[in-house]
Structure 1
Amino acid sequence: MGPLRESRRAAIERLFQHGGDIKAATVAYPDAPRPWIDLSTGLNPVAYPVPELPRELWARLPETAALDALRAAAGLFYGVEPECVAAGAGSQAVLQVLPRLFPAPRVSILGPTYGEHERVWKTSGADTETVGDLDAATAPQVVVVNPNNPDGRMFARLRMADTARRLADEGRRLIVDEAFMDFESESVAGDRLAATIVLRSFGKAFGLSGLRLGFAVAPPAIAARIREALGPWPVSGPAIAVGMLALADRNWLDAARRRLERDAAWLDDALTRVGFALVGQTRLFRLARHPGAAKTFERLCAQGVLARPFAWDPNLLRFGIPTVDQRPRLREALMAAR
């Protein structure tokens, strides 16, 4: 196999691992028209408007008082006291320290779901089991992504709270990844549940994944351990400043929710018109099934449209929500990819 063919094969493999890898997509499909329409990430495609920031935010280390203010803003947003919040460079940075802080011989993960949960626990030496139902989880640590990525399955807040209390009574721990919860209404972040860690992403709802900001919400003693593990400067000065502005801007978030609902309705129609069956959703993505999904993925990539494929089911594709200006090109690509 020649070097060009090998590099293309490796690039295609990366597209099955995580969304948003436009560099890999360009290597895999070098003749695709630009710019790419990236629907592979499940991010809000219209980002929060970032103001011009003072130069000192880029030049100085973040001060403790600024980080405390960010935690206070996040606490107000999630409905908890600041001492219940730990901030990190994305929820990914937070979930990676959990196996070290709270080691367990076995971990139950409700799946299929975001693959990083299994990876970080296996790397720590834990055995992992993938279960299809909450009641089937038998391990000391239980991980649930709610709403789930990629199918949007969502447990009601009362069900999750009951599960958290049951696990705490049994001396077990619940980790709830609510990365896609900001536009939904079933969060347990504000329920102050014992032995429960709730992970929240900032970048998805606010469309600023490159800012790298996320939070853990947990009982004060657990949150303090996470803060200590993340170190003295877990979040950059610019991320602190933008995060505080955005978390306080409920009007912007409400308007984004309404826009996403309209744009998602358009996507639903466009997908069903070309033979996809919608099998899962949140306000930030749609999961669709088609017997020719693997071929459709390749044809869309050739036209500069990147969806999210899954190695564990080649008949599935996940689509982020397109903007109005992307509709004509996306519709044309979908029709041509049939």
Structure 2
Amino acid sequence: MKDIKERENQTVVTEFLFLGFSNHPELQGLFFLIFLVVYLVTLLGNLLILTAIRINPVLHTPMYYFLSNLSFLDICYTSTTVPIILVNFFQEKKTITYEGCLSQIFFLVTFAGSECVLLAAMAYDRFIAICHPLHYPVLMSKRICTYLAAGSWLCGVVNSLTHTGLTATLTLCGPNQISHFLCDIPLLLKLSCSDTSVNEVALYVSSATIGLSPCLFTAVSYMLTISAILKIQSAQGRKKAFSTCASHLTVVVIYYGTINFNYDQPSSGYSLDVVILVSVLFCIVTPMLNPIIYSLRNKEVKVALKKLYEGYIYLVIPVFK
């Protein structure tokens, strides 16, 4: 109680100072270049996926409908953090306002939660396609796909509104320093002068419902799917069936691997550099890898991107003649 009263007497926080890259001031220019390139590749890759799916009728299927939602989520997710990071590289004091911090938390939690549920929906789609192919047109109709995608977004928004609302009720006192390059709920809880037990319970509930449950559902779906693939007698048939879910399985492993390492690491024992590196992998690198994985491992996407490139060349070359 005494410690809480002492902190309550301190100046109320109106802005936050990021310390994420403060250990390496001599590398600010290099970091800016790396983050800029990764961000541009992320935007370009996901926009190409979106465009290819949009203009190619062959890709107007449930699997690619979910993939287009995933690409849009990745664009939104990385755009919530990277532009602010790039601007701060040129600032002596890398700050963000209290309102800006809450806004960043809202969008980060929304997109991260939506992606967890969406990946589970994509796993369900592959399970139905391989284990129940005759019922696929009915079980994965356009209406059901729309409901699943909308449900993913709704889960993310409701979860985010809950956490952002609870975080906004906290009384935050100095110091206003965040040992990171972005705002996150656990980081703000450390700066709170008020009771955070409700926030912590909400985080545990969210981890179980939005994090763990979709992860377990995805894992079970793929265990059943892989089991069904192994029962296919033809080697060519097994290869073709596995190729339809290999890209998504790779994305799932990378996403859940980085998110678990990012949020389940012990509170002590890791240096700031390690924490920052893991967060960069999860928040910035993973959204860049998704379109690369799908374009390299998916024949239909590669064909669609090739047609998109050929169409672009066909339109551009006459202009320069």
Between 1 and 2, higher relative CO (CA 8 Å, sep ≥ 6) is seen in: 2
TM-score, with length taken from structure 1: 0.22
Compare the two structures and name the one with the higher strand fraction. 1
Query: Would you tell me which structure has more helix in proportion to its own residues?
Result: 2
> What TM-score does the superposition give when structure 2 sets the normalisation length?
0.23
Bigger-Rg structure (1/2):
2
